Structure 1
């Protein structure tokens, strides 16, 4: 991936090295997982050699965000934004800038909605978010309350060492997926998801809604990449294969199969490996936001 030539975004909050927050998990209303889900995620972590807290915390964060992300935590401290000088910080700032440039162009032209640039918070270990406590064990996430993406880049190391999903474009796909949630928020989709989940008659139905949200974010990541490639020729040979392998590796069925030997589709929250590959490819091939309407299929 030819990211070195991208401009660098100033919308990066670099909190790495700070220790002002060392709290526990997110303080969400309706965001906590049931004991059964915690046990399953613990088994998945054990089977794959991943810290189970990464899976459990990430699931709690996603559940809370989809339910409105209410929290009683103090507001996160403000930071002076700007592109960090280290290589990883430069990479993140470059990918964020490329997302800004593409979405500023295509969101108004395709959907008539102005693109509001989110902040991306880099941190090590733990910090505060508008959705409560954030820690490395949660993985990357988007908080709709403060419209910020939170990223501890140690997740990229885990992707490479534990899931076999390394590579610059694979990492860019992860960032673009979270920006996809921001696009959903700008389109008014996340508030509707919150209302729909509150009306859901069962946990399985609420999970199915979450799957559609996540698959749409995969597709929007593909839309970004397709338009970035068309305008800026950002991709090297093999980049798309790396992103597809990453999407497959984090499919719910792959994780459940590895942990317990069988899958429980009603418990999926992000989609199967085949679904994640399908929707990423849908975005890559179409380059159109409207092609990502997972709720219509």
Structure 2
């Protein structure tokens, strides 16, 4: 993936030098992230804020958190990993601005927060152990970049485009929020059974995978930055974070009714569907009879 020299986003917020923001007391770098992430990946990773969902499932609401005010800024020029994330975020801004303009709408980009260990969010305290997530309450994507090491070394999904897919998936949740889909699904929580909630979550997550595919299509048209093996890298990442793959890895068997993100095959299918079409209309997971 030839990303060096491309435009970087101004919508970056770097909290990596903070003390972790309190909350669960995991200040500094994450504790045993490889072990903890593998235990949680099957439920909330790469999705709408796990803090929000845990609060909803326990009968509570999303806690209000006073967040520190920091100006958006680009990451340090010498920080290659952060520069990569900023470059990918910029490409999502360009891609979704184009898509929204085609529908006579204006895209409002999210901010992406880099942090270590734990950080306050409008959805509660975010932890690195939860993996990357999007908080609709403040319209921000949260990322502890240690997750990229977990993705590569623990989950067997290395490569720049696999990492870009992670960012694009979270931005996909932001697109869902702008379109009003997130609020509709959250409004059903507590009014349907746990199995039905999980099924709705699967469709929401697969749609975010498809929207990541739409980004891949549009960014490739604009930048021609993909190289041989890049698409396979993203598909490999999708296959390793399917609910069935994660459950087999963590417990040796699968429980389909507990799926919240979809199987490996489903995640690959919907990413490919979005990439092939390059249009939001191809991502109607809620209207699909078969996923």
Same fold (TM over 0.5): yes
**Matched residues in 2 for 1:263 and 1:234: separation?**
37
Specify the SS of the correspondent of 1:199.
coil
- 1:95 equivalent to 2:81? Answer no
Paired residues of 2:38 and 2:250 also in contact (CA < 8 A): no
**Matched residues in 2 for 1:17 and 1:3: separation?**
26
| Number of residue-to-residue matches in the alignment | 275
Q: CA deviation at 1:205?
A: 0.5
Alignment of 1:66-105 (within 5 A): 70-85=61-76, 86-105=79-98
Alignment of 1:262-281 (within 5 A): 262-281=253-272
The residue number in structure 1 matching 2:249 is 258
CA deviation profile, 1:233-261 (whole Å, cap 9, x unmatched): 12111000000000000000111122333
Q: CA deviation at 1:147?
A: 0.2
With normalisation by structure 1, the TM-score equals 0.86
With normalisation by structure 2, the TM-score equals 0.88
Paired residues of 1:140 and 1:151 also in contact (CA < 8 A): yes
The residue number in structure 2 matching 1:35 is none
Paired residues of 2:20 and 2:117 also in contact (CA < 8 A): no
**Matched residues in 2 for 1:276 and 1:168: separation?**
18
**Matched residues in 1 for 2:173 and 2:218: separation?**
18
Alignment of 1:182-197 (within 5 A): 182-197=174-189
- 1:18 equivalent to 2:10? Answer no
- 1:108 equivalent to 2:101? Answer yes
**Matched residues in 2 for 1:221 and 1:174: separation?**
8
Paired residues of 1:252 and 1:269 also in contact (CA < 8 A): yes
The residue number in structure 2 matching 1:32 is none
CA deviation profile, 1:176-206 (whole Å, cap 9, x unmatched): 0000000000111001111233321x11110
